[in-house]
Amino acid sequence: MAFLMPKSRFNHTWLDQGLMSLRIPNKHMFLHFRRRILLTILVALVTCFQSAAIAEVTKWSLNSLLKTPEWLSISGAQRTRFETLDEQFRAGGNGSDQILVFRTNILAQLEWRQWNFAFEVLDSRQAYGDENTKIASGDVNPLDVLQLYAKWNFASDERAESSMRVGRFTMDIGSRRLVARNRFRNAINAFLGIDWREKV
């Protein structure tokens, strides 16, 4: 038994017209298109090599510059922030206000066996504040000793890890709602006393 297929009435005219529309009309456009592809590939290769080179660069640190010994670590931070207020929300205030605040701190830490010693200096200043600008100790506290403490790390049979800190220090407790080292405020709170911590 044989099956006879009817003659196809498929018209190839529209297919030929579509293929012709995909052809590049002239040689100049083809060269321009090829240059764009080569340029894209070149940029991608340069970006890959540059990222690899940056990853191999050693991070700069103050300790490497000063060539401090292993038991001594020196670090610091500087923050400058401009604050502006358009409408006063305080009672009796009117108009706008602005202030430029600076916060600089330098921390030196010494580690010897189970002992840790820390000394940190904080300098909080302001500029461009008006005569009526509300400035308090939370904004300005020039050249103050923020931390100066001795810490003893020890372990026993009942405690997996515990430590005791004596002196002036900053600390974070729990969710940082009541006791914390200030992050947004220009000045930072410090505490004087004994801090006993243990991890089980």
Q: How do the domains of the chain map onto residue ranges? A: 25-56, 62-199
Greater model confidence, 139 or 18? 139
**pLDDT, average across residues 38-50:** 70
pLDDT surpasses 70 at 26: no
* pLDDT tens digits along 144-200: 999 999 999 876 544 557 889 999 999 988 888 888 898 988 999 999 999 988 776
What region does 157 belong to: left with phi over 0, alpha with psi -120 to 50, or beta? alpha
Average pLDDT over residues 1-25: 46
How deeply is 101 buried, as exposed, middle or buried, from its count of CB atoms within 10 A (0-12, 13-18, 19+)? Answer: buried
According to DSSP, the β-strands at 141-154 and 191-199 are unpaired
